[in-house]
Amino acid sequence: MTQTVEPTHRQLGMTDSEFDSVVRILGREPRPAELAMYSVMWSEHCSYKSSRRHLGRFPTEAPWVVVGPGENAGVVDIGDGWLAALRIESHNHPSYVEPHQGAATGVGGILRDVFTMGARPIGLWDQIRFGPLDEPKNRYLFGGVVSGIADYGNAVGVPTVGGEIGFDPCYSGNPLVNVMCLGILKRDQLVLGTAGTPGTVAVLLGNSTGRDGIGGASVLASASFDNESREKRPSVQVGDPFEEKKLIEACLELYTKGLVVGVQDLGAAGLSCATSEPAGRAGVGMEVDLDAVHVREPEMTAPELLMSESQERMMAFVDAANVEQVLEVADKWEIDSAVIGVVRAGDTLTIRHKGEVVAEIPAASLADDAPLYDRPRARPSELDDVWATEPRLPDDLDLADAVLRLLDDPAIGSSAWVHEQYDHMLFLNTIVGPGADGSLLRVKGTNKGLAVSTDGNGRLCQLDPRRGGARLVFEAALNVAVIGAEPMALVDNLNFGNPEKPEVMWQFVESVAGISEACESLGVPVVGGNVSFYNETEGVDIYPTPVVGLLGLADPVPNEPPRIDRAEEGMEIWEIGPEPTASLAGSSAERIVLGTLTGRPTAPDPEVARQVIGLVRELAHTVPVLHDVSDGGLAVAIAEICIASEVGATIELGDPSLLFSEDPHRVVAVFEHGAVEPPGDIARRIGTVGGVALTLGDATIDIATATDAYREAIPRRMTS
Amino acid sequence: MRTAVVQFPGTNCEHDVVEAVTALGGSAELVWHRDTDLSDFDGAILPGGFAHGDYLRTGAIARFSPVMTEVFRLADSGAPVLGICNGFQILCEAGLLPGALIANRDLAFICRLVEVEVADTDTVLTRTATVGQRIRIPLNSYEGNWVDPTRRGRVVLRYVDDPNGSQQQAAAVANDRGNVVGVMPHPERAIHDFLGSSDGNLLLEGFLHSLAPA
Amino acid sequence: MRVRIEITRRPEIADPQGTTIRRALADLGHEQVERVRVDRVIHLDIAGDDRSAIESQANEMCRQVLANPVLEDFSVEVLG
Amino acid sequence: MRVRIEITRRPEIADPQGTTIRRALADLGHEQVERVRVDRVIHLDIAGDDRSAIESQANEMCRQVLANPVLEDFSVEVLG
Ligand SMILES: Nc1ncnc2c1ncn2[C@@H]1O[C@H](COP(=O)(O)OP(=O)(O)O)[C@@H](O)[C@H]1O
Ligand SMILES: [Mg+2]
């Protein structure tokens, strides 16, 4: 029997033609360390080789954009001398392998992307999706991910002020864990990921380098998932929020003192990335000495040192004259530091280990010459049939029972079980925290507030990725408008299946188009994002699940921002926005009552969207309650107001399809009679607050019963 | 009258405490845990966070920081010393307060506004409050469950609804003299109505009043 | 019967807690301490007297909930 | 030398972790488990070869910092 040994490049996940490109670039066979570097840098996760040519579709420009896509985080100008930095990142595959540490290190990674820019991180948002909670495995994953985010976020000292929770069987073998971070900085503190000019010194800060997570993010996140994934377990990384907290404070002190030329975090692809990217960006070369790297384990090889994804490390580029001071700051904060390299003229990245040159490559080639694929695309053939089948509620539907079932759904019910495990109050900025439509953080010393909403909806995007993608943006915009903010910039996290399947590529490109069109219509630039492919298990892809994070600026912050717990006996209930159609395609009612996924979601209307967003933003300064209509439609939106305000309501409308419709651009407003006069063509009165029950046409739901269902939706499942 | 706000590696509420004290007209300054001279200060606050990552046990490593010698001296002299959340845990580990803090009954981190009732007004935290008075301040801890096998501790604030299993529903505890107090919920997080409550000011005012020689 | 389960972190997995404690001990003058690792011991009282049944049940519990198979190894000892 | 320190929670102190684990085990069908207690084991590698000096140093570290006397007892074993 002959045993065939896979060539090294294939073991590292590289195709034969990618290997040939390396040979062509170098004009020779790569050395082992060089091959290691190309393999991680050219992985799907780091190179965006399947997605890059499509991401160019995003609109990225606006007068307030300071840094667009391409750096570690996007940066926008919010006035008064302040900038905001934002980015979103996924940790889907690591979180399936080890939910607690996978989620924790995801938080650590996104924080580094933001404080790399010179910003102090002030808020985190998590978007997490799992299979149904009646399966023990999913409860384990959900509980582990939430405790991982809590452990890391709380201890690192950055509040988690919002997010999203979803459940669907398509995520059972592949949960989604996305995290967004927002930071603020003074204009003159902006730092970029550049290596600077020849003579600049590279200082590695923070954790020691170990074998943990060798090729972790890049390999795990760049291939399909199957039972072999168990074998990849040694690549699990353990987060150390304490080290990261010290690293944040040390870096911020370096920025305030003006001691760095550039900074790059060490995330996926570790040292390979943190040397080649900054050098490539600056158009310089670099000499690196791996023997200077502080290590956790003895006898590490050069490829291991270059591929390790050990957490909580940063690379600072420093003028030679400032090195002493930089090391002192590191000492003060009790973090390790090591001078590991120096920038050289030219474009060659030379890496030495034990006195020998182990790599000598054009620095920019790792990023710039990465393969670029135009993968085939095909519209799923069954889509016409799916669109032709409108979901219809049964004529004998028990409306009250259906509303209670929706409120008891863990994706709709109260998120308190999750967000009360997160410190969401640190820094005294949280004016509107988790559990509301969007979050609102004040910017101290100004009248401004930063509003953020994150939104994803795999079901809508499965039915129509273009309309779905666009509707996410409009929904996020409405969510920041209800707290008085104007949409300003967007980051996106594109969670998709296997890009080698033409249907998945089609979904991807359609979603990008939908998000782009909506952003263009609102004048919102995309300033950064992330792509996560290969979210499939045993050949079955997840629903296409792009997630958007929208930053809005409230200027000024409303004196009393609308909240859903401020409805009072006798107030009027209005619906603002277009009259809904009876379409239930992709809605929560379709999922919970019918258990199907069919029909074509209603198209968004950019003109109406702009009108409603503008109107709502003004109302946010005067109206006590504003709540956007989303999951569960009008019925759930009003029930949530009643539950939070501990009061009943009467709605004349009794048609379940209209009450459960999730058609876009709609908001519920509650206010005293005559307090405001919303324009009649876009707003209509639909009911009155009062009593102890919610009455929808002929159906009556006791608020105490509704409250129970809503509050217990997650806890009763997690403690069963 | 100056308050030292002690910053350990891993502390994260220090700036919030400075802001809260300053907003009330007090004067607060950060001191690093390696500082060894607090002679310019009239009192100290050990703020919340995760000193040394909460590794080993919460507060266990922090209590050995060089600055603690000065905290002991202040406590000894009768000056007001307040530990908030992680600071409370450190004061227990240091033996300046009785008992210890263990994991919450339900083994989950709890961050939410809670209601507490004033049980004792003869302390630097509650001297401007009245017994039985109820106030709302945010809890934010995993190890907030106070146990005291000696049953000697003076309970200063009690939770109205027991969130974490704390003995005698204690939310704040004092030493015999009443000048060293540990409080698990965060008064500095309840200083503006737009943050959900401004009841924390009552407690911080008590502390500031105590800085003046009696 | 009394069962003793020791759960140890796998050697290749990073141990930030151990590292931090080592530093703290060095600060306190115990520089001779070269490595620190913190593990868990779980004592169970289990009703019954079939030693081998109890042993296999304890192993099952470790695999199910007590240990995290990704990060930890475990050993079971029936003390009797 | 390798030193093994076992830190046990005093019986009179509540053990939320033990209680929670017992409940979780019962939910999984292990109702025979009557009690669960979770303790910590700390392994130290200490430079030197004077067994008794190392033992007394380890005891000192326990009293000082590794154990909390309010909650815990400890035992030290020099493994050699
Ligand atoms: N979906 C996306 N939309 C917009 N920009 C994106 C998207 N995905 C990636 N980018 C941008 O491409 C750049 C490359 O990211 P990269 O540095 O490889 O990420 P990481 O730091 O996580 O390794 C980033 O600036 C990012 O903002
Ligand atoms: Mg980055």
Q: How far apart are CA A572 and CA A641, in angstroms?
A: 13
Record the tokens describing residue D10, joined without a space. Answer: 């005093």
Q: What are phi and psi of A347, to 5 degrees?
A: -135, 15
**What pLDDT, on a 0 to 100 scale, did the predictor assign at position A223?**
54
- Hey, is the C-beta of C79 within 8 angstroms of any chain A C-beta? no
Chain D neighbors of B162, CB-CB under 8 A: none
Q: For atom 10 of ligand 1, which residue has the closest CA?
A: A529
Query: Tell me: the pLDDT tens digits for A412-433?
Result: 999 999 999 999 999 999 999 9
In chain B, the domains with their CATH numbers are 2-211 (3.40.50.880)
Query: Tell me: the pLDDT tens digits for C30-58?
Result: 999 999 999 999 999 999 999 999 999 99
Chain B neighbors of A156, CB-CB under 8 A: 12
Q: How far apart are CA A494 and CA A90, in angstroms?
A: 9
Domains contained in chain C, number: 1
Please confirm, yes or no, whether B111 is among the known catalytic residues.
Answer: no
Record the tokens describing residue A283, joined without a space. Answer: 């158009």
Mean pLDDT, rounded, for D53-73? 96
Chain C neighbors of A310, CB-CB under 8 A: 14
**What pLDDT, on a 0 to 100 scale, did the predictor assign at position C13?**
84
Q: Is the pLDDT of residue A623 over 70?
A: yes
Q: Is the pLDDT of residue A502 over 70?
A: yes
**What pLDDT, on a 0 to 100 scale, did the predictor assign at position B82?**
98
CA–centroid distance, A31 to ligand 1, in Å, is 28
Q: How far apart are CA D10 and CA A508, in angstroms?
A: 58
Question: What subunits make at least 3 CB pairs under 8 angstroms with D?
Answer: B, C
Domain coverage including residue D21: 2-78
**What pLDDT, on a 0 to 100 scale, did the predictor assign at position A720?**
61
- Percentage of residues of chain A with pLDDT beyond 70: 97
Q: How far apart are CA A344 and CA A97, in angstroms?
A: 41
Q: How far apart are CA A593 and CA A391, in angstroms?
A: 10
Q: Quick check: bond before A556 cis, omega within 30?
A: yes
Query: Tell me: the pLDDT tens digits for D1-54?
Result: 999 999 999 988 989 999 999 998 998 889 999 999 999 999 999 999 999 999
Q: How far apart are CA B127 and CA A617, in angstroms?
A: 45
Confidence of residue A227 (pLDDT cuts 50, 70, 90): very low
Query: Tell me: the pLDDT tens digits for A578-611?
Result: 999 999 999 999 999 999 999 999 999 999 999 9
Q: Which of B85, B92, B93, B143 is catalytic?
A: B85
Q: Which residue has the tokens 């910039």?
A: A489
pTM: 0.95
Q: How far apart are CA A487 and CA A477, in angstroms?
A: 6
Q: How far apart are CA B58 and CA B141, in angstroms?
A: 11
Q: Is the pLDDT of residue A225 over 50?
A: no
CATH number at residue C35: 3.30.1280.10
Q: How far apart are CA A518 and CA A524, in angstroms?
A: 8
SS (H, E, C) A582-648: CCCCCCHHHHHHHCCCCCCCCCCCHHHHHHHHHHHHHHCCCCCEEEECCCCHHHHHHHHHHHHHCCC
**What pLDDT, on a 0 to 100 scale, did the predictor assign at position A342?**
98
Helix ranges restricted to H, C8-63:
16-27, 51-61
Query: Tell me: the pLDDT tens digits for A520-571?
Result: 999 999 999 999 999 998 899 999 999 999 999 999 999 999 999 999 999 9
Instruction: Return the best residue to mutate from A264, A530, A533 for the ligand 1 pocket (most ligand atoms within 8 A of CB).
Output: A530
Q: Which residues pair with A79 in a beta bridge?
A: A82
More confidently predicted of A296 and A185 = A185
Q: Are A625 and A641 in contact (CB under 8 A)?
A: yes
**What pLDDT, on a 0 to 100 scale, did the predictor assign at position A222?**
53
ipTM over 0.90: yes
Q: Are A389 and A599 in contact (CB under 8 A)?
A: yes
**What pLDDT, on a 0 to 100 scale, did the predictor assign at position A198?**
97
Record the tokens describing residue A452, joined without a space. Answer: 């953020």
Q: Work out the mean pLDDT of chain A and round it to a whole number.
A: 94
Q: Work out the mean pLDDT of chain C and round it to a whole number.
A: 93
Q: How far apart are CA B60 and CA C71, in angstroms?
A: 25
Record the tokens describing residue D68, joined without a space. Answer: 């909390």
Q: Which residue has the tokens 């943050």?
A: B195
Using CA coordinates, name the residue in chain D closest to B93. D68
Question: Vertex A397, ends A394 and A400: CA angle to 5°?
Answer: 155
Record the tokens describing residue D26, joined without a space. Answer: 């019962």
Using CA coordinates, name the residue in chain C closest to A231. C70
- Dihedral (Cα; A3, A7, A13, A14), 10-degree rounding: -150
Q: Is A348 helix (H, G, I), strand (E, B) or coil?
A: strand
Mean pLDDT, rounded, for B35-43? 97
Q: How far apart are CA D49 and CA D40, in angstroms?
A: 25
Using CA coordinates, name the residue in chain D closest to B167. D14
Confidence of residue A219 (pLDDT cuts 50, 70, 90): low
Query: Tell me: the pLDDT tens digits for B85-104?
Result: 999 999 999 999 999 999 99
Confidence of residue A232 (pLDDT cuts 50, 70, 90): very low
**What pLDDT, on a 0 to 100 scale, did the predictor assign at position A3?**
60
Burial label, B212 (beta-carbon count in 10 A; 0-12, 13-18, 19+): exposed
Q: Is the pLDDT of residue A689 over 50?
A: yes
**What pLDDT, on a 0 to 100 scale, did the predictor assign at position A230?**
38
Say how many Å lie between the first and final Cα of chain D, rounded: 5
**What pLDDT, on a 0 to 100 scale, did the predictor assign at position A267?**
86
CA–centroid distance, A70 to ligand 1, in Å, is 6
CA B85, chain centre distance (Å): 6
Q: How far apart are CA A249 and CA A330, in angstroms?
A: 9
* Cα Rg of chain C (Å, integer): 16
CA–centroid distance, A88 to ligand 1, in Å, is 9
Q: Is A135 helix (H, G, I), strand (E, B) or coil?
A: coil
Q: Are A507 and A514 in contact (CB under 8 A)?
A: no
**What pLDDT, on a 0 to 100 scale, did the predictor assign at position A233?**
37
In the structure, which protein residues have their CB atom closer than 6 angstroms to any atom of ligand 1? Answer: A 46, 48, 55, 58, 69-72, 89, 113, 267-268, 492, 494, 526, 528-531
Q: Which residues contact B140 (CB under 8 A, 6 or more apart)?
A: A154, A423, A425, A426, B48, B85, B109, B110, B111, B185, B186, B189
Q: How far apart are CA A87 and CA A78, in angstroms?
A: 16
Q: Are C1 and C49 in contact (CB under 8 A)?
A: yes
* Cα four-point dihedral sign C75, C79, D2, D3: positive
Report CA-CA distances (Å) from A398 to A393, A572, A709.
Answer: 10, 26, 16
DSSP secondary structure code for residue A252 in this structure: H
Confidence of residue A659 (pLDDT cuts 50, 70, 90): very high
Record the tokens describing residue A171, joined without a space. Answer: 């995520």
